[in-house]
């Protein structure tokens, strides 16, 4: 499940559905998949929205260690079951808190259900083990689609500075909407606020 392969799979789905979305929205790594599709000419939307978008490789040694650790965990078939078995309420709360977000009880329960599913854990580890954003980072200056970056100021997963630096790099093709007090899951903390920002930019586009 690498970035190019996931992009190709989504492209195949769009062809099957005969769909050509005009507004595309991706959270975190989902924004990277959509950016790749736009760069490859598969998508030509009027607006691309990235929610706390993961569009740049981790800096320094983290860029090497993070995929290597995920790969080691992914190759151990026992890991997903151990993780799922240990995903109690307290562990899930710690994990979500680590993103800088605060979710209600229903939101935490939904994440607990996800984390208790070994197949989901294995899929997430497989993606992280094969994730490489260096080619995308190199190609992003060619992105012609207007880009809206919605950023939670408390995001502890993707540093807010990443989106600010990207907007500067792309000039007038990108702009940042800053959401104070929200984390990596800002769209789940304040869905109505995020939806209104998307609607407003979609109308302008």
pLDDT digits (tens, 9 = 90+) for 31-60: 999 999 999 999 999 999 999 999 998 654
Residue range 70-77: mean pLDDT, rounded: 54
pLDDT 10s digits, 141-184: 999 999 999 999 999 999 999 999 999 999 889 999 999 999 99
Which sequence spans correspond to the domains of the chain? 3-57+140-204, 62-130
| Cα-based distances in Å from 19 to 22, 41, 44, 70, 164 | 10, 14, 11, 34, 31
- Kindly tell me the sign of the dihedral angle through the C-alpha atoms of 103, 108, 109, 113: positive
Find out if CATH 3.40.50.1820 is the number for domain 3-57+140-204: yes
What pLDDT is recorded for position 121? 84
């Amino acid at each position: 499940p690498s970035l190019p392969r996931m992009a190709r799979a989504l492209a195949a789905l769009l062809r099957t559905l005969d769909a050509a979305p005009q507004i595309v929205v991706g959270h975190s790594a989902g924004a990277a998949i959509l950016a790749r599709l736009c760069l490859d000419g598969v998508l030509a939307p009027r607006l691309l929205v990235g929610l706390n978008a993961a569009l740049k490789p981790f800096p320094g040694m983290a860029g090497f260690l993070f995929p290597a650790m995920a790969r080691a965990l992914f190759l151990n078939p026992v890991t997903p079951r151990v993780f799922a078995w240990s995903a109690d309420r307290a562990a899930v709360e710690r994990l979500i808190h680590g993103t800088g977000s605060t979710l209600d009880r229903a939101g935490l329960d939904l994440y607990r259900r996800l984390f208790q599913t070994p197949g989901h854990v294995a899929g997430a580890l497989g993606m992280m083990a094969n994730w490489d954003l260096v080619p995308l980072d190199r190609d992003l200056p060619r992105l012609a689609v207007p880009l809206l970056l919605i950023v939670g100021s408390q995001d502890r997963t993707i540093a807010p500075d990443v989106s600010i630096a990207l907007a500067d790099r792309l000039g007038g093709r990108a702009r940042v909407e800053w959401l104070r007090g929200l984390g990596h899951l800002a769209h789940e903390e304040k869905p109505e606020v995020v939806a209104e920002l998307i609607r407003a930019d979609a109308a302008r586009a």
